[in-house]
Amino acid sequence: MTSGEEEKELSDIVRAELETMTTTERAAVITLLVGETQASDIIRYLNPREVQALGSAMVGVVDLSQETVSAVLDDFVGTIKQQTNLGLGTTDYVESVLKRALGDDKASTVLSRILPGGSTKGLEILRWMDARAISDMIINEHPQVIAIILSVLEYDVAADVLSFLPPENRGEVMQRVASLETVQPSAMEELERIMSQQFSSNSSAQSSSFGGVKTAAKIMNFVKVEMETSVMQSLTSLDEDLTLQIQDQMFTFENLSMVDNRAIQVMMRNIESDLLMVALKGASEETRDKFFDNMSQRAKAMFIDDMESKGPMRISDVEDAQKNIMRIARKLSDSGELVLAGRGDDFV
């Protein structure tokens, strides 16, 4: 085999390897090469899921060839020459970077998910645990303690934790989430006592602000349709005025009429036409027009004909379709592909 043929074969191998790499794996390559200080600065701006994903990818790319590493770098800063391979005590490096960026506690939790061993402790570490583990830990605690914990979690994780709690407790927990404003030191001391039993952690108690109607609404935005109905019914029986406040803050399918056209177009590229047809069957004229205005005249006419040919739809099917579309919209929003403007100046 000539050197030219060998180079072509190697290039084909690298090209094939690049095509299978995810964007997270490419980011991991860059992070491993920029040095601990710069890597720490990058990781500091990531959310828990992103840190876990990036940390896992950093461990997983250690065996990449130099050619592949250089090709990844070419995508960002041009051809990098004389760069060494990534197999250089990477476990210690990843641990050092994560601890520098996140502190020992958070880093230990992330490392325990991507490497053997590791331990966790402290209230803050709850943000880095999965929903099932959190629910198992707090299921027998007082509803007020559970409410505080849900308030410090990411909204979708809190919704998942809520789904693992006994149905008869969910309404009271959400009532307490919505009623939270400032948690006094005595409550924080009790919470720290519970956390110390789990993580052997000690920390000074101080007043903390979280929770409230907006937090409750954002958590409810992520629960499934059937659970949302039962929770809201339970919550109404406890505090009807508070329930109305939460409903007013929730981002619903009808609120899509307020988002910009670009966001609607992004959504339509990611939603099956049949699902959108069902959802729009029960939508207001304003919301329908928002979607229709982002179709060509021909596409709009065909869409309306197909939608009308479906005939009457069950309300439950329409609500499910709308909820599914909102889940897709929130995922697109989380990935930065669109922005969903909520009530007032809020964004979800």
Give the residue with greater pLDDT, 72 vs 264: 264
- The one-letter amino acid code at 49 reads R
Where in the chain are the domains? 3-119, 128-249, 253-334
Q: Which of 110, 178, 111, 165 is nearest to 134 (CA)?
A: 165
pLDDT of 342 strictly over 60: no
Residue 219, judged by CB atoms within 10 A of its CB (0-12, 13-18, 19+), counts as buried
CATH of domain 253-334: 1.10.220.30
CATH of domain 128-249: 1.10.220.30
Comparing 128-249 with 253-334, is the CATH topology the same?
yes
**Contact criterion met (CB below 8 Å) for 230 and 173:** no
pLDDT of residue 253: 87
pLDDT of residue 294: 94
pLDDT of residue 65: 74
- The one-letter amino acid code at 249 reads Q
pLDDT of 103 strictly over 70: no
| Helix or strand holding residue 182 (H, E) | strand 182-183
What DSSP string describes 277-317? HHHHHTS-HHHHHHHHTTS-HHHHHHHHHHHHHT----HHH
Give the residue with greater pLDDT, 337 vs 115: 337
**Residue 5: φ, ψ to 5°:** -65, -40
Residue 305, judged by CB atoms within 10 A of its CB (0-12, 13-18, 19+), counts as exposed
Q: Which of 2, 3, 1, 68 is nearest to 29 (CA)?
A: 68
Q: Specify the pTM.
A: 0.43
Share of residues in the chain with pLDDT > 90 (%): 17
- What tens digit of pLDDT does each residue of 53-70 get? 788 788 777 777 777 777
pLDDT of 9 strictly over 80: no
